[in-house]
Amino acid sequence: MEPPIAVTGYAESLANRSQFVDYKDTAKSYGTARQPVGLDIVLGALASAPSGIPLHQQRILDAGCGTGIYLKEIAPRVESFAAIDFSAAMLEECQATTEDASIMGGQYNTGSILDMSLYEDNSFDGVLINQVVQHLEDDETRPTRKAMKQAYAEAYRVLKPGGMVIMSTRNKNPTYDSHYWYAGFCPEAVAKMTERVPSREQCIAAQSTAGFVVGNVICPQLATFMKSNMYNDPSRIADPTWQRGDSFWSLVSDEEKAGVHAIVEEMTAAGTMEAHLKSHEVTRTMTGQVLFITGSKPIA
């Protein structure tokens, strides 16, 4: 068996190797731009767990909780929850976001979802892994998605039999840039993001390998992952608060950003931006920006 990924110094190591997202900076306004797209999918999966445990009696783990935009909505509906993230800044924002819900039994931990040994086996009724797997790999592990497989194995370990895992990542079918009105202006960043985001088939295979019974594969078509009033506002393209809502911008070079800003300004001045936005909305609403895959831990 291949040895697991060592997670000592994981936050610093991954940040240095991946050169992806500055999580401390992103935490400043991530929750301002994002919305919990697919919340109904998450709640529906938890409520229909094979264990038969009612949602209000469940203990939930948000693995890679970020700033807590999902947990804020889920926590009041369950008995208790735990949140883990390797970014202390993200976790701090999560705790602030769910401050009222924490009265109901919240637990916050800084750590890696590749090694959740602080949680006992069979201790949760549901595990959420929302928009995390594209952040886990480095150049060495990405070809085999070793980190994603390890995260799934840990989720399987801490779940009770009959419990649910709900994973989400970006949808890149038919192509990544077809889902975002601005992505086509940044071809170099699109190529990088396309490589980072695991395919639907890779996600399903990792879930199955961990031992889960794969459930539903869903791409919600109407909602945007960013708040719609922000997502569809090209005037904010250079606003750091706006850009923190999409990790994609961490892969856009300064040179490419300057080109994007120039294109947006030119299209706005020419009166063609509105038509561009509308054409991309047609594609986006046909396929959806986010991929959800649910699974259950078999009941022995």
Instruction: Supply 276's token pair.
Output: 């561009």
| Spatial CA neighbour of 114 closest among 73, 86, 82 | 86
pLDDT in tens, 90-142: 999 999 888 776 556 789 999 999 999 999 999 999 999 999 999 999 889 99
Percentages helix, strand, coil for the chain (3-state, rounded to 5) are 45, 15, 35
Residue 183 predicted with pLDDT over 50: yes
| Spatial CA neighbour of 129 closest among 142, 141, 116, 144 | 116
Query: What is the predicted pLDDT for the residue at 205?
Result: 98
| pLDDT interval class at 18 (50, 70, 90) | very low
| Spatial CA neighbour of 34 closest among 179, 244, 277 | 244
Burial class of residue 115, CB neighbours in 10 A (0-12, 13-18, 19+): middle
DSSP letter for each residue of 39-96:
HHHHHHHHHT-TT---GGG-EEEEET-TT-TTHHHHGGGSSEEEEEES-HHHHHHHHH
What is the rounded CA–CA span in Å between residue 106 and residue 71? 10
pLDDT in tens, 238-295: 998 899 889 999 999 999 999 999 999 999 999 999 999 999 999 899 999 999 999 9
Query: What is the predicted pLDDT for the residue at 106?
Result: 87
Report the run of H or E that residue 296 belongs to, with start and end. Answer: strand 290-296
Residue 2 predicted with pLDDT over 90: no
- Residue position matching structure tokens 């090209």: 234
Work out the mean pLDDT of the chain and round it to a whole number.
91
What is the rounded CA–CA span in Å between residue 72 and residue 32? 13
Question: What are the distances in angstroms from CA 109 to CA 94, 226, 284?
Answer: 11, 26, 36
Domains of the chain by range and CATH? 10-176+190-225+286-296 (3.40.50.150)
Residue 79 predicted with pLDDT over 90: yes
Report percent pLDDT > 90 for the chain.
Answer: 78
Query: What is the predicted pLDDT for the residue at 16?
Result: 45
Burial class of residue 40, CB neighbours in 10 A (0-12, 13-18, 19+): exposed
pLDDT in tens, 39-63: 999 999 999 999 999 999 999 999 9
What is the rounded CA–CA span in Å between residue 296 and residue 159? 9
Query: What is the predicted pLDDT for the residue at 44?
Result: 97
